[in-house]
Structure 1
């Protein structure tokens, strides 16, 4: 069983410090590389799926969250307001109120819908210190979030497309969901009091799940305060479940923010918001990746994708030239020279890298490189250009493991 808290620190991905505070991890260079690569994957996938990206502030006036309903339903999980110039500002616990304001800042026609708005943005939760741990429960969260503003008859198709995006991301990350959950409201005053709205939004998500053929379980008490969710559950090495990705249908906030679009009849109509997150928070996604793969991250995500191993000091110039060619090709490479031990010891040390390149006298003289893959496969020496082209083609296709 792998623990991302231990392994993540050993691999130099992230760390914490009491001076910064509990639940506020910082990313080290290799971890920042993983995070950046994961974020770019999501942005690219979203652009291809017709999303437009925005940026919004990490705080807003308390009034914003009073309108959205977060203040009355969620304030216990929010940081206290900050007084500034006679106004009260709050660190946001969610991006959806900001995106609702972005939508209403411009007039919209039905011809523009669905309007898919995405952001990789920070949000903040006032988590109790007793539940904080590693990257899975933190107070500063970088969320892959998006809100789709659409007509009522587009909701099911947009929720279904969001599930397909999630499935593609999981395949690229080499992650298998533990289960799919239809998260419904439960007893208590946590939820918006509108039974008709709940029936309508729940019916849409059941239709999407039933049509997808995915097995799922309904769970009361797990919905967002404004609507039901499809939650994609993952499990850690100890079998503990958490939600990584989600799709939500929201009829509530469009009313609260008085959102509208102009229909074909020239009249104002109310859009529906579909909330969705493909990989959830970057923190929790990386934690899951480390635990599932035991630190041997998918090839396209690995901070060092190719470790270059010169047999002796005589091959160092060729190893350095190879590293420069890798950088020019967009391949993340590093050199493990003879000063770090015998060749055998260096091969073992680099076992988590997707690929190793041994440069000996024969390879140096012939302009070739001998590759060793993470699964132990050894490839015959081949010209450097051919070897790099083969690796980069697989990485561009988001290969979990490199093949010969």
Structure 2
């Protein structure tokens, strides 16, 4: 059962319903826990990298997307406008026009740049029903999006930093890039007609890829309408590729929105806009993680991180106290009591949980737990507080390893 659509439903992560509609999955509690952990991780990763987070509306006037170029170049993938009070409102297909408006809402000096603006925000694509599937192709998604507004001399460094951030996240997620793709325009496509800007943007991306020492392949017809981009491709178990992360250089929208900053010479200058998504859409990221890990997520991502199993009803009070203490420490912990079956059956039922703590009569008497790791290791009876400390350390470090090295 390698396909995330079947496995995700079997694991009670997500599902769909005809009353909600195709391409609009809903998240069940375990799936919501995975999603929340992923979102919190990427927010903190970005914060430490100097990003400031914002919120912006999922609707905008049609004029906003005419100004950005989306209406002319991307309209076929957008939902039709809604007439509200004599105005045409549109569900956004992208966050970048909103972030451009946020940038221009305040004056900026060269001293503030690069200004890194990030948002985990909703966006909408009018996908045809025939291409929808599970979490990989949906009509409503949460995008891990960010835009860096910088001076021209800062662009290559920001692209390089974005690539490093993507590699760091992939390490914590336990996933591997299949290849890096330099996505270029195709002849006759719907692209912004400014060859000089395309050449400038392409040169910067190539410079950053070379500086990062990353092998890449060029692909025509895969560029954004406003410029070339780096796509980080991942592959599922069947070898099918999809784009998870992107880095794009945009000279077009800063000009369309007349963005500016005051330079050291006192004159007004045009910033460059670097678009980047570390994990892309949350939906597609979780789909890939389900297929890569087959439900055995890294401990920090697991829906349930610790399963506490009292051997008998006599140990239930100690087991319940251990669960409470684990929850207070920030762990996702649950109790699997004797009423759920034999100890062996409960252990097998929780085989995807990273840590299982068995509490028998001996452990209950001296405040210890018999710890079992998902990979079969048994660190031995440990004081309950010590076991929680070690588990918490693995989770806090966003480690793919279940236990510290001896």
Q: Same fold (TM over 0.5)?
A: yes
Gaps of 5+ in 2: none
Structure-1 residue corresponding to 2:255: 255
Structure-1 residue corresponding to 2:290: 290
In structure 2, C-alpha distance between the alignment counterparts of 1:189 and 1:292, rounded to whole Å: 34
Matches within 5 A, 1:317-396: 317-396=317-396
Matches within 5 A, 1:132-143: 132-143=132-143
Structure-1 residue corresponding to 2:267: 267
Q: Provide the secondary structure at the position in 1 that maps to 2:239.
A: coil
Matches within 5 A, 1:63-78: 63-78=63-78
Matches within 5 A, 1:1-400: 2-400=2-400
In structure 2, C-alpha distance between the alignment counterparts of 1:211 and 1:113, rounded to whole Å: 22
**C-alpha offsets along residues 35-59 of structure 1, whole Å, 9 cap, x if unaligned?**
1111110110111011001000001
Q: CA RMSD in A?
A: 0.7
Q: Provide the secondary structure at the position in 1 that maps to 2:181.
A: strand
**C-alpha offsets along residues 286-345 of structure 1, whole Å, 9 cap, x if unaligned?**
000000001101110001001111111111111101000101111111111111111111
**C-alpha offsets along residues 113-166 of structure 1, whole Å, 9 cap, x if unaligned?**
000000000000000000001000000010000000000000000000001110
In structure 2, C-alpha distance between the alignment counterparts of 1:48 and 1:401, rounded to whole Å: 23
Instruction: Give the deviation of 1:401 after TM superposition.
Output: 3.1
Gaps of 5+ in 1: none
Instruction: Give the deviation of 1:7 after TM superposition.
Output: 0.9
In structure 2, C-alpha distance between the alignment counterparts of 1:168 and 1:25, rounded to whole Å: 29
Contact 2:189-2:221 at 8 Å conserved across structures: no
Instruction: Give the deviation of 1:189 after TM superposition.
Output: 3.4
TM-score, with normalisation over the residues of structure 1?
A: 0.99
Contact 1:183-1:228 at 8 Å conserved across structures: yes
Q: Which segments of structure 1 move beyond 3 Å, counting only runs of 4 or more?
A: none
In structure 1, C-alpha distance between the alignment counterparts of 2:401 and 2:135, rounded to whole Å: 25
In structure 2, C-alpha distance between the alignment counterparts of 1:232 and 1:189, rounded to whole Å: 22
Contact 1:178-1:233 at 8 Å conserved across structures: yes
Q: Provide the secondary structure at the position in 2 that maps to 1:389.
A: helix
Q: Which moved more, 1:89-98 or 1:232-241?
A: 232-241
Contact 2:109-2:261 at 8 Å conserved across structures: yes
In structure 1, C-alpha distance between the alignment counterparts of 2:110 and 2:211, rounded to whole Å: 26
In structure 2, C-alpha distance between the alignment counterparts of 1:70 and 1:307, rounded to whole Å: 49
In structure 1, C-alpha distance between the alignment counterparts of 2:216 and 2:371, rounded to whole Å: 43
Contact 1:354-1:401 at 8 Å conserved across structures: no
